[in-house]
Chain A
Amino acid sequence: MNKEFKVLALPYKIWLGIFVFVPIIAMALIGISNLNSTVTIADLRITLSHFSILYQRSVLIAFRNSLTFAFATTLICFVLGYFVSYEIKRSRVKNKFVILTIVILPMWSNLILRIESLGNIMSENNILKSIIGFNLFGNISGTWMAVLFGLVFTYLPFMILSIYTALEKIDPALEEAALDLGLTPMMKFWKVVFPLSFKGVVTGSIMVFLPALTGFAVPKILSRGQIILIGNIIENKFIYTNYNHGALLSMIILIFIFGSILLITKFDKEGETLL
């Protein structure tokens, strides 16, 4: 390829340099200093006093809640997602495009509106009850079950797409070879198909884990403010313009994200399963 086009990457390098690093540096700085809208750069002082919020009970509970919900969501999405992707792959339906469209289509309507609708049918008197005559979910609005259900079915498409992308790339000849060499279908799955699709599982898990860990709209709407996740605390810090605390909490989330990025680059060098 013509080396002349190297120039074309230059503006993007500058753009990425600014937009990836400056916000994070600003956030780190605000997290460990007294900088806010009333303090000028001249009076800037480094302080670790904001770290005291990390010992607050509400914050600790929020972290515990976030991690629990994120792990549970990822696990359930993995089981359901792998099952659905594998069935799609094995199905005799020729037109994969249609099947994938079916999986993606819900993501094209507004997330907030979808969650609100789910919350509605989880409450005692709802529109579905007035049609079918009974409560599909019981009255689980405001409980952890409602939040978990919402999280799983919001982020499941990401898992299905990632795993399906990885499964599709497996050469069918490999599976035939495994069977010819005497593996049972079950062993073929565990020894050949699953390891080859693992890249997709990692990507899918991270695509589910991170938004489940940090989102604030889903828990807020489905738990009616009963269950506080770390995202809700950051949102509140933003609403009450306490940017120092918000920045510090975001920095801690960033640690999880760095871990995830390292994990992805280990399994998938140029992010081929990200799409």
Chain B
Amino acid sequence: MIEREVATLKDYGFRDYSKLVKAFNVVKRIFVVLIILGLYLSIIIIAIKSFNNSRNLSSFSGLTLSWYLEMFNETELMNAVRNTLIVSTIATVVATILGTIFAIGLYTLAKKNRVFWMLLNNVPILNADIVTGFSLMLMFRMFMVFFPNIFGLFTLVMAHLFFCIPYVVLSVMPKLKETDPNLMDAALDLGVKPYKALVKVLIPAIKAGIFAGMLLALTMSIDDFVISYFNTGAGFDNLSIWIYAVMGRRDLTPSVYAFSTLLTLFTLAGLLVYQFLERNKKGEKV
């Protein structure tokens, strides 16, 4: 018998990398977890501080839940929270309604025209907060000749509307593009009045976009610091401005951390409930 040499895969230049790939994947996964941890580091610290037994913010002396009750007695904190809620609620509700109406209006424009107005719509989103805040402040100051006490709730709400409406427009617009144009035509052919068709046919079709826009507007409004910082007045501080001021005096109470942790937990719970409901809905359809 002649011994024949059998060419193996190796001779063709194949190398088995599968072990290396596996190791590489593990390393990658560790990196992803580390980066996510980096994102959560500050939140974890806030939570730790909210459970800390002592008023001293730089050493941990034991667990307590007392700050979660104490925070309702902190008038300044509660005042800042109330101001934030007032501004954000007004801004979100108005921005959602107006943003939806404006998006429908812009959608009916010719494409070239629409691109131009969408560009202007994106200005408040892309513009640096400090420039938006500073320039709006200068504009409101010009109105002070007629309305000396303009700074405060009014300017804050106007400034928030300025950057909230674009987010609603931006998230409603893609949904409008997705809707079948025949839908509206059919409604109109069947004799429905245009504005009634708008409410009965178009709004339900773009509901998801409106909801997403509302959430975005609320997120942006509730967490805004820079624009609010320049445009408030008469002591009408929202939470961010108040924390910034108190921090300068090195006077933060653990109640602030308790409030923030509570808010994070509520958000998380809300998202979980939403997710649960969505899953149930999908289950029903199947």
Contacts and interface: CB of A to CB of B under 8 A. Distances in A.
Given A108-B219, A111-B240, A84 B128 contact: no
Interface string A99-120: 0011101111111111111101
B126 interface: yes
Q: Identify whether the interface residues of A are mostly helix, strand, loop, or mixed.
A: helix
Given A113-B256, A125-B58, A127-B49, A243 B138 contact: yes
B108 A6 contact: yes
Chain A contact-residue range equals 35 or more
A265 B120 contact: no
A271 B119 CA distance: 8
A151 interface: no
Interface stretch (B37-45, B66-74, B149-157): B37-45
A214 to B, nearest CB: 4
A105 B34 CA distance: 16
Contacts of A114: 42-43, 46
Interface string A1-34: 1111111111111011001101110110010000
Contacts of A5: 104-105, 107-108, 194, 198
Interface stretch (B1-9, B85-93, B259-267): B259-267
A254 B131 contact: yes
Interface string A155-188: 0110000000000000000000000000000000
Nearest to B209: A275
B226 to A, nearest CB: 7
B96 interface: no
Given A9-B117, A16-B121, A19-B162, A109 B39 contact: no
Given A11-B102, A118-B42, A127-B49, A24 B59 contact: no
A97 interface: yes
Interface in B5-64: 28-29, 31-32, 35-36, 38-43, 45-46, 48-49, 52, 57-61
Nearest to B256: A113
B184 interface: yes
Interface in B97-123: 98, 101-102, 104-109, 114-115, 117-123
Contact of B170 (A10, A157, A274): A274
B32 A231 contact: no
A130 B56 CA distance: 12
B23 to A, nearest CB: 16
A269 interface: yes
Given A8-B101, A114-B46, A217-B226, A106 B32 contact: no
B123 to A, nearest CB: 5
A109 B138 contact: no
Contacts, number: 256
Chain B contact-residue range equals 35 or more
A224 to B, nearest CB: 11
A221 B130 CA distance: 17
Given A112-B244, A250-B131, A261 B59 contact: no
Nearest to B31: A83
Contacts of B244: 112, 217
A112 B126 CA distance: 21
A214 B58 contact: no
Contacts of B39: 103, 106, 153, 156-157
Contacts of A275: 167, 170-171, 212, 216
B240 A112 contact: yes
Interface of A: 1-13, 15-16, 19-20, 22-24, 26-27, 30, 37, 80, 83-84, 87-88, 95, 97-98, 101-103, 105-118, 120-121, 123, 125-128, 130-131, 153, 156-157, 206, 210-211, 213-217, 221, 231, 234-235, 238, 243, 246-247, 250, 253-254, 256-257, 260-261, 264-265, 269-272, 274-275
30 contacts: A2-B184, A3-B108, A5-B104, A8-B101, A8-B102, A12-B102, A13-B117, A16-B123, A24-B135, A26-B142, A27-B131, A80-B35, A83-B31, A105-B267, A109-B223, A109-B260, A111-B225, A117-B49, A118-B41, A123-B58, A130-B61, A211-B128, A214-B131, A215-B129, A238-B230, A253-B130, A261-B126, A275-B167, A275-B171, A275-B216
Interface of B: 28-29, 31-32, 35-36, 38-43, 45-46, 48-49, 52, 57-61, 98, 101-102, 104-109, 114-115, 117-132, 134-139, 141-142, 162, 165, 167, 169-171, 173-174, 181, 184, 188, 194, 197-198, 212, 216, 219, 223, 225-226, 230, 239-240, 243-244, 247, 252, 256-257, 260, 263-264, 267-268, 271, 275, 278
Given A5-B194, A84-B35, 7 more contacts: A6-B109, A12-B106, A13-B117, A23-B135, A27-B135, A127-B59, A270-B115
